[in-house]
């Protein structure tokens, strides 16, 4: 296949990828969009086979490896529980990163296969592109591994910080750039490996200081990095499909990070530099005097909700941990039978990744037109009889609106306290991730339900 023809087909697959993302603007068009993405991928792979034109033994091996990887991927995709989606995505990012590193290494070792010159005399531009691709890929890989371990709970979600951390990261980052500069001059293998190694190290160091609840930002950021790494390799291979995709994914991840940061009213650097609420706020909340709270049980909750005319459900990460989404759906069904109007309110940073709560509710067969974003529903709390807060905490804290001293001041929060009564399912009075007390616990219209989110919801269903 001629280079011009294959380039045209790569452009086509790039366009199909754009349409795949475009489809996600509404759930109705999204499935069709996904098929377009699959079509784009098939075209890209077939065109590559045809343009390489080598259908010998190597081709058979390529197919075998493709099938091995494909079966592993398909197996994971069908078996993974929806609650494990954040760590799955982190794991997938790490694979993209590592694949970028491998392709860059291969191109460096055998540049003639990619028309980039010969060993020891690789074109300058290609060398810069492939080493940047390899460095970003390596950072994506090791960073995503750390994110995966934290999300999976293998590694503690608590931030790991030490003195001079940011300075060290800065030095490592600069040294990568300096080494790339020297690599362009002397093209030594050792230098290339050193760049990759330092980048692996930097990826680990960048993610360890970031705490569990900041993971939505981290995952989006790594998503973005994996895109830039792919784009870097795309420039090396002079491949349009890869350049377009890399740019799409890179900007997608960047926008998601921005949305997540805005949802917490924090700057991107504030999140990346990490360690939020790990130090001073914790000690503050411990010294606070005990205030009275109203304690309720499933019976009270069922009574309140049954006699309400409208109920808003506020889910959070705790719902995912307790796997309470199915029980919640049953409860809502029972309420609807009683003529209660029920809707769901989702805060942008609820859960551990963008859109986490929406997927879990969809899994439990909650229709997506009953689920609302913060801006859409926040005014409705004032007219609602009962707010049922299940597994959320900081995102409902009214302190964010009233106390300029608070670390979460200015963060957009759900106006839960405006509803006639608030049912707050929580295991204890312990503060949330930000390490601050939630004012809501002590309000007159709040009834605390101390229990596991799933057990409590099931109890309520029995009492309805």
Partner 1 sequence: MEIDPFIFRFSIFILSIFIGYYVVWSVTPSLHTPLMSVTNAISSVIIVGAIIAALAGSTEKIFEISNVFGFLAIILAAINIFGGFLVTQRMLQMYKKKKK
Catalytically annotated residues:
394
Question: What residues does 214 pair with on adjacent strands?
Answer: none
Q: Shortest Cβ distance from residue 29 to partner 1 (Å)?
A: 10
Nearest CB to partner 1, comparing residues 254 and 449: 254
Nearest CB to partner 1, comparing residues 370 and 380: 370
Nearest CB to partner 1, comparing residues 97 and 407: 97
Where is 331: in which H helix or E strand?
A: helix 325-337
Nearest CB to partner 1, comparing residues 92 and 424: 92
Cα four-point dihedral sign 34, 262, 203, 107:
positive
Q: Shortest Cβ distance from residue 389 to partner 1 (Å)?
A: 20
Report the C-alpha gap between 199 and 430 in whole angstroms: 38
Cα distances from 316 to residues 148, 345, 348, 402, 414, in angstroms, run 20, 10, 10, 22, 12
Nearest CB to partner 1, comparing residues 41 and 204: 41
Q: Shortest Cβ distance from residue 212 to partner 1 (Å)?
A: 18
Q: Shortest Cβ distance from residue 254 to partner 1 (Å)?
A: 9
Contacts of 271 (CB under 8 A, 6+ apart): 210, 214, 217, 218, 261, 264
Cβ(140)–Cβ(94) below 8 Å: yes
Q: Shortest Cβ distance from residue 95 to partner 1 (Å)?
A: 4
Where is 144: in which H helix or E strand?
A: helix 124-152
Q: Shortest Cβ distance from residue 411 to partner 1 (Å)?
A: 17
Residue indicated by tokens 């362009």: 184
Task: Give the side-chain half-sphere CA count within 13 A for 382.
Answer: 2
Nearest CB to partner 1, comparing residues 34 and 188: 34
Report the C-alpha gap between 457 and 156 in whole angstroms: 28
Question: Given its phi and psi angles, is residue 262 left (phi above 0), alpha (psi -120 to 50 degrees) or beta?
Answer: alpha
Report the C-alpha gap between 111 and 155 in whole angstroms: 39
């Amino acid at each position: 296949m001629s280079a011009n023809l294959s380039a045209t087909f790569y452009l086509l697959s790039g366009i199909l990828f754009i349409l795949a993302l475009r489809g996600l603007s509404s759930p109705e068009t999204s499935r069709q969009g996904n098929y377009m993405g699959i079509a784009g991928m098939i075209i890209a792979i077939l065109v590559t086979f045809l343009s390489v034109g080598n259908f010998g033994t190597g081709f058979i091996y390529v197919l075998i490896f493709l099938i091995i990887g494909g079966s592993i991927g398909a197996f994971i995709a069908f078996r993974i529980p929806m609650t494990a989606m954040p760590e799955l995505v982190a794991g997938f990012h790490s694979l993209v990163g590592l694949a970028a590193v491998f392709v860059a290494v291969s191109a460096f070792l055998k540049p003639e296969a990619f028309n980039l010159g010969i060993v020891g005399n690789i074109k300058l531009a290609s060398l810069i592109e492939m080493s940047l691709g390899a460095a970003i890929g390596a950072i994506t890989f090791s960073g995503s591994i750390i994110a995966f371990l934290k999300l999976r709970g293998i590694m503690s979600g608590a931030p790991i910080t030490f003195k001079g951390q940011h300075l060290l990261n800065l030095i490592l980052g600069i040294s990568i750039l300096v080494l790339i500069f020297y690599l362009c001059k002397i093209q030594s293998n050792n230098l290339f490996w050193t760049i990759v190694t330092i980048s692996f190290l930097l990826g680990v160091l960048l993610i360890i200081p970031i705490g569990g609840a900041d993971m939505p930002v981290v995952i989006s950021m790594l998503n973005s990095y994996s895109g830039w790494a792919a784009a870097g390799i795309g420039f090396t291979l002079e491949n349009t499909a890869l350049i377009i995709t890399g740019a799409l994914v890179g900007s997608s991840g960047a926008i998601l990070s921005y949305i997540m940061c805005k949802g917490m009213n924090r700057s991107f650097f504030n999140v990346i530099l990490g360690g939020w609420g790990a130090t001073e706020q914790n000690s503050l909340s411990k010294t606070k005097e005990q205030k009275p709270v109203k304690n309720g049980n499933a019976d009270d909750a069922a009574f309140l909700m049954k006699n309400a005319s409208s109920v808003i459900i506020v889910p959070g990460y705790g719902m995912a941990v307790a796997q309470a989404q199915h029980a919640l759906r049953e409860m809502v069904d029972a309420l609807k039978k009683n003529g209660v109007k029920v809707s769901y309110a989702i805060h942008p940073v609820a859960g551990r990744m963008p859109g986490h709560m929406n997927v879990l509710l969809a899994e439990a067969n909650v229709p997506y037109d009953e689920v609302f974003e913060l801006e859409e529903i926040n005014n409705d709390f004032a007219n609602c009889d009962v707010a049922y807060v299940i597994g959320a905490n900081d995102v409902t804290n009214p302190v964010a609106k009233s106390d300029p001293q608070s670390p979460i001041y200015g963060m957009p929060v759900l106006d839960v306290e405006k509803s006639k009564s608030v049912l707050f399912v929580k295991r204890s009075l312990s503060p949330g991730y930000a390490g601050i007390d939630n004012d809501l616990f002590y309000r007159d219209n709040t009834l605390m339900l101390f229990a596991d989110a799933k057990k409590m919801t099931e109890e309520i269903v029995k009492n309805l």
